[in-house]
A = this chain, B = another copy of it.
Amino acid sequence: MEGVEVANKQVIFKGFIDGIPKETDMEVKVGKIELKAPKGSSALLVKNLYLSCDPYMRGRMREFYDSYIPPFVPGQALEGFGVSRVIDSDNPDYKPGDFISGITGWEEYSLVHRTGQLRKIHPDDIPLSFNVGLLGMPGFTAYAGFFEVCSPKKGEYVFVSAASGAVGQLVGQLAKLHGCYVVGSAGSSQKVDLLKNKLGFDEAFNYKEETDLNATLERYFPQGIDIYFDNVGGDMLDAALLKMKPFGRIAVCGMVSQQSLSKTEGIHNLFCLISKRIRMQGFLQSDYLDLFPQFLEYVSSYYKQGKIVYIEDMNEGLENAPSAFVGLFSGKNVGKQVVHVADE
């Protein structure tokens, strides 16, 4: 197939947005691409197999340059984590047929210049798509956040919000493996059921059915919370602050950043930080990449032993990527949202 020019379906970013992403912020178009990595480019021409839908991508849809990651470019395809197969390589570290995981385009074929961020995958008995979930950025976010930011101790009481999501479902399982008591919140009875019956959480609740989150957390944590892994911010963070135990830790992760998009009511209970000596810490998984090998070893090993499971929500076809992505922001996805673009 090398050197052949083929049709290349793409999901184009139409322009900067405010608020929640809509399907109409993206457009599926068909362009052309030569299946060749140009000589001297050190690039790879890859076929994209799986694309990851992650909440942080919303931050790249704003015209805001003072972040850890630049915005998307209007008129060009979105970018995100993916699993791909190398078709042509101008890079000595990769050869056609290699499977890779890393940042790629939301399109059928991509020319990947930034090869430093790629990871070569050796397909084994773990699904390829897990490389953007359990074994990818979300899984590593859970691992680094839980072990490096939360300083967990056996027997501690752990609360996880957005607990059935790409990150939360692993946080809870890591906490259980570490000997903690774990409660998760999620937004449907189906998710609550998965948390309790498939993911091994001690308890779980549907926050949409709760009218008083303070009372809810009092019910699930009469003794208080040692660790809150916060994937949502807002009212849940305020309620958790009130229930934290002395010397508790709050890892601030992911979606709380959406508060930057619209003026929410604000957080009122930070006074608890003082009397309870709470440490509240934001983090990015990318600061802990030296731990990635040990993470892979740890999680793969438990997965193969059947002691970690991982729930994916798999959408079929690149043309369904916009709706899959948009669904993240209403909690439509059950588990890690992935788009299946092509077979190997």
Report A's interface with B, CB cutoff 8 A. 59, 67-68, 233, 237, 252-254, 256-260, 263-284, 287
Contact = CB atoms under 8 A, between A and B. Distances in A.
A270 B255 CA distance: 11
Contact of A271 (B257, B265, B271, B279): B257
A274 to B, nearest CB: 4
Contacts of A253: 274
B264 A267 contact: no
Nearest to A234: B270
10 contacts: A256-B271, A256-B274, A257-B271, A257-B274, A258-B271, A259-B271, A264-B268, A267-B267, A276-B282, A279-B281
A241 to B, nearest CB: 10
Contact of A284 (B268, B272, B274): B274
Contacts of A282: 272-279
Contact of A252 (B59, B68, B260, B274): B274
A52 to B, nearest CB: 19
Choose among A258, A260, A274, A279 the residue with the greatest number of B CB atoms under 10 Å from its CB.
A274
Given A280-B280, A287-B277, A259 B270 contact: yes
Given A259-B271, A279-B282, 19 more contacts: A68-B275, A252-B270, A256-B273, A256-B274, A257-B271, A258-B271, A260-B269, A263-B268, A264-B268, A266-B266, A266-B268, A267-B267, A267-B268, A267-B270, A272-B282, A273-B281, A275-B284, A277-B282, A277-B287
A270 B250 CA distance: 12
Nearest to A280: B280
B277 A280 contact: no
Contact of A281 (B59, B266, B280, B287): B280
A110 to B, nearest CB: 26
A279 B67 CA distance: 17
Given A265-B266, A277-B283, A271 B67 contact: no
A278 B281 contact: yes
Contact of A270 (B67, B68, B233, B287): B233
Contacts of A287: 277
A277 B284 contact: yes
A253 B270 CA distance: 11
A270 B273 CA distance: 14
A148 to B, nearest CB: 11
Given A266-B265, A268-B264, A282-B278, A273 B252 contact: yes
Contacts of A277: 281-284, 287
Contacts of A265: 266
Nearest to A254: B274
A268 B59 CA distance: 17
Contacts of A59: 275
A259 to B, nearest CB: 5
Nearest to A244: B282
Nearest to A260: B271
Contacts of A274: 252-254, 256-257, 282-284
